[in-house]
A and B are shown apart, each in its own frame.
Chain A
């Protein structure tokens, strides 16, 4: 294959001019700066999670741990069972000089809660979003555009404006301090977005594929499942990532509806570490690394699906 002068990563003609070595160097330099800006905090988080409290606060900071230690992680997984009080706070010092927070043992249950909520929100999103998007994209019915715009409008309203109605709703249903309170409200936030991206994607699939499938003997539902879903992987992956990350990171609503570890999610537990008797950066950073792992795994797993061009060849191309 001849190397193309145009490539998807070159969105405008500015990049298509004859290669100029100086320009290339500048582009790489710029990319490097952006990458460093994005990755440096993550690196510091990871590096400092392997340092003792004393090493973290040293000046100048150690970008590479001089005395790497797993004590912070050990504290999360091992010491979680003991109750920490003001009096005992220094007794099981995990990293010489740090303190483990009183809510340390909530970390693992909190992660489990986050995982349950996020996975449930993702699955329910797909269950509701895929048929809704297919219908909106393929069936011409009265009020179709209005429905699409109405759903988008709900995303224009900031979450904080919905807090009071959400609160009353959850309270009246008796769902306070349950995982359901989070699942229901997160669905309200994420479903419009899922429907919107899937609708746009389905609309980009040639109309004649839908007709061909139905003439070939598919019901509407079979057309959706057997023709549209296999083609919509990139959009579905985008929707899954968005809903998972939104649910995994959400703070405001979780703060309102959860009170105990019966329903508290990871962000709640990590946040509580900063409002304790004292603060251990080493411990918080170790918790932070754990919080980052599931989304990273998700991104790695789906990375190869985040490609478009699957419809190439469907119609004259």
Chain B
């Protein structure tokens, strides 16, 4: 059993900075959880606390059923992969992978068997005699993975393991890590600031900002029902379009209004927010949730055309700001052309203007 439970965990550094604030989170056995957030949000600190590399200032941290606040890293059954790989430069690849087993007093035959197994699995069996300095970035990353998997730990921790790799390698390593999780059948906690990585890998995503958890949920829930403006804008590329304005009453229900721009919100939203007419809000429209419609409310002149291969994105001046909408790649657009879009009402996001809270999907 390797579930992880944070109970009101706070991490305060000697400088007084609170890196993690009253974190309560339960990670199930064999779950793949991704901690996602911008740098300085406390995600790496959270990971380090699981590893035992940082003390817990307040609250309780459990691995399985055991309280581990004061258990040193070497006494926890965790393995970790670092962004910089952190290979021991004076040891060969073999010894790097074997080190954790040697420290745990495994028999030589067992060490040899496991190191060679891992090396074969990661396709680095030709490199076992080399030193880390003789390897490429991708190879070093594989060695770092090997060092973690030979231990067969109860919890597998990864701190931005793919950030130093080039784009193509990053995509293929993502798939390997996902496969690794499926074969190892152990708990994975993965830290990243890359939303695409999080959406691809996670069973559940924990979005963090300034030491506080913003939302916990499946990738789908986080993307479709973001709890606030921060979560909405952190996931998605290009990011969600956010238009400030206010609610207004119209003949067939509530509308979003900002000057000339009037977007009907649909029946479900109108019913939910019936009492809130005139309230200042922020309208969130994902670039893919619109379609071309000559009579649509979201209109403006094209300022940029950004083809991305499968589709293209149009940057248009709308509601006094630049917004991006996705269109099929077949059509030709010229700068300066006027276009109009309608949005799928069921896929609109409405946020409170001051707090940024999602008005349609409020969570307890």
Contacts and interface: CB of A to CB of B under 8 A. Distances in A.
Contacts of A140: 14
A230 B157 CA distance: 27
B84 A227 contact: no
Interface stretch (A87-95, A210-218, A261-269): A210-218
B315 to A, nearest CB: 35
Nearest to B105: A217
A314 to B, nearest CB: 4
A261 to B, nearest CB: 45
B103 A212 contact: no
Nearest to A220: B72
A140 B54 CA distance: 11
A208 B14 CA distance: 20
Contact of A313 (B74, B103, B135): B135
Nearest to A314: B89
Nearest to B84: A315
Q: How large is the interface on B (under 10, 10 to 19, 20 to 34, 35 or more residues)?
A: 35 or more
B164 interface: yes
A213 B147 CA distance: 11
Interface string B39-72: 0000000001001110000000000000000001
Contacts of B100: 215-217
B280 interface: no
A215 B133 contact: no
Contacts, number: 90
Contact of B78 (A206, A215, A218, A311): A215
Interface string A299-317: 0000000000011111111
A250 to B, nearest CB: 35
Contacts of A316: 84-85, 137, 140, 164
Nearest to A231: B90
A40 interface: no
Given A211-B53, A313-B135, A219 B80 contact: no
A314 B87 contact: yes
B88 interface: yes
B73 A313 contact: no
A317 B89 CA distance: 12
Interface in B136-157: 137, 140, 147, 151, 157
Contacts of A219: 72, 74
Interface string A278-317: 0000000000000000000000000000000011111111
A171 B148 CA distance: 58
A83 to B, nearest CB: 56
Given A215-B79, A217-B104, A227 B88 contact: yes
A216 B147 contact: yes
B86 interface: yes
A222 interface: yes
Contacts of A313: 87, 89, 131-135, 140
A251 B332 CA distance: 89
A142 interface: yes
Interface string B308-334: 000000000000000000000000000
Contacts of A213: 88, 99
Interface string B77-115: 011101111111110000000011001100000000000
Task: Across the A-B interface, give the 9 residue pairs with the lowest CB-CB distance, nearest first.
Answer: A313-B133, A217-B103, A315-B84, A208-B86, A212-B86, A216-B100, A313-B132, A314-B89, A214-B73
Interface of B: 14, 48, 51-53, 72-74, 78-80, 82-90, 99-100, 103-104, 131-135, 137, 140, 147, 151, 157, 164
Given A208-B83, A314-B89, 11 more contacts: A140-B14, A211-B73, A211-B82, A214-B74, A215-B74, A216-B151, A217-B103, A222-B74, A313-B134, A313-B135, A314-B86
